[in-house]
Amino acid sequence: MKHKTLPIVLTLALTCVAAAPAGQLTTETLGPGLQHLVICRGDTATATSYRILFGVFSRPSEADQMLESLREIGVAALPTSDGIDYRIVTPSLPHRVQVEDMRSRLIDQGFSSHIEVQEIRQDLTHPEGPWKIHVLEADPRRIDVQVAHAYDAAIGLETTAALAVRRGGALAAVNGGYFQMEGLLAGDSLGALEIDDRLLSEPDRGRASVGFFVQDGTTRSVFGRLAFHGWMQPAEGDVIQLQGINRSRGPSEIVLFTPDFHRTTLTPPGGAEIVISYSRIAAIREGLGSSLIPPDGMVLSIGAERSAEILPGLHAGDTVYVQTRLVPLLSDPEDEWDRARYVVSGGPLLLWKGQRLEEPEKESISRVFYLARHPRTAVGVRADGTLLFVTVDGRRPEESVGMSLPELTDLMLELGAVSAINLDGGGSTTMVIDGTVVNHPSGDSPRRNADAILLYLRKP
């Protein structure tokens, strides 16, 4: 077998020259129907400032509680993050005496004496930024859009650049949705993932998704929130509801594993697994785990708490019917979700059919994640169908501070989007053009991600 040698992938971080609030814009044509815009705006904080630090929290729920407690007593505070912990702080002030006086008044009101005054020079909360933004503006009549997963499986990790090059040399790409970062199932998507009409992962807590399909020679997109419906039914028996697909299984869950997942289910011993080949039960394995997944079938993995309930109705040789589908939670009168061949999730939904949404709690998004500035990746669509793929660099106060989700919504509106979602961000935020990373990822090197959105020039 011949092995294709991938080109060396370099990180290209264009420097904003004398960034100003009015901003700078450069535009590059990558091919017919695809423009690359680089937007530099804002101004770096140069003067020393001061603020109160109320605490450092590793759990977003605890940071949320502190933020809410301060709001209830009328104290202005906001979150900031380095990607690991959240810090709850006051807005910065130019003079230490102002902040020392504020701290004294808070202590007099019974607040903890452990709150501290910080002196800072580089401030991620600086209201003037700066920001470094990359935009891919795609003509839907000339650009094909696909979603791909690392190594063409449901688990595993690969840099967005390597994935774009390996998948037929995509002209451009951005990172995709949230995923499990560590462990045996690293790369398992935490949200809906559908590739070429094959469902690899179910939606997570009704979070936002975007789907792509081609209709009348034009790439169409659909935005919204999704739920999962899956079931198995023996030819003679009751319907068995499924809780998920291609992921770890809880003791009371029934999870379907398809050949896209891996060679085996990678499940621990316990429960039972129903091996299905050509729509018939080929084997029933109790207590063993890690069953081989037939290339022409699937495996139904049953948690230990459900085995006694389910197994008596199943027998080797039985014909079974299995169905999985994505169910829209928002209006879809034209059944566009049924036509989507590629689907990737993120969250939250920022814009939907011209309406600005500010309801992160509907997608189990923490308040601090919503309000803190992070590197961000987003995808949106204009009223005329033009697709927008956006990255905002962050965690580099001298270059780009990142954006809160309200700020990202403002940006998508400014770019003309009528629907938009937030994708995975932080160290995952990556934009690739011709195999080269063009933004400035916040880590030491581009992160290995689970999936990506790939853009191709449409062939005549």
DSSP code at position 426: G
CB 10 within 8 A of CB 434: no
427: how many CB neighbours lie within 10 A of its CB?
A: 22
CATH classification code of 49-120: 3.30.70.1070
Distance CA 186, CA 183 (A): 5
Q: Is the pLDDT of residue 8 over 70?
A: no
State residue 418's pLDDT score. Answer: 98
pLDDT in tens, 382-440: 999 999 999 999 999 999 999 999 999 999 999 999 999 999 999 999 999 999 999 99
Cα(48)–Cα(40) distance, integer angstroms: 23
pLDDT at 109: 84
Arithmetic mean of pLDDT over the chain: 93
Extents of the domains making up the chain: 24-40+130-219+329-457, 49-120, 236-318
pLDDT recorded at residue 16: 58
Ranges assigned E (strand) in 235-338: 240-241, 244-245, 254-257, 272-277, 280-286, 297-302, 320-328
pLDDT digits (tens, 9 = 90+) for 79-95: 999 999 999 999 999 99
For 145-199, the pLDDT digits (tens) are: 999 999 999 999 999 999 999 999 899 999 999 999 999 999 999 999 999 999 9
Rg over CA atoms, the chain: 24
Confidence check: pLDDT of 60 > 80: yes
- Reply yes or no on whether the pLDDT at 257 is more than 70: yes
**Integer Cα distance of 452 and 33 in angstroms:** 20
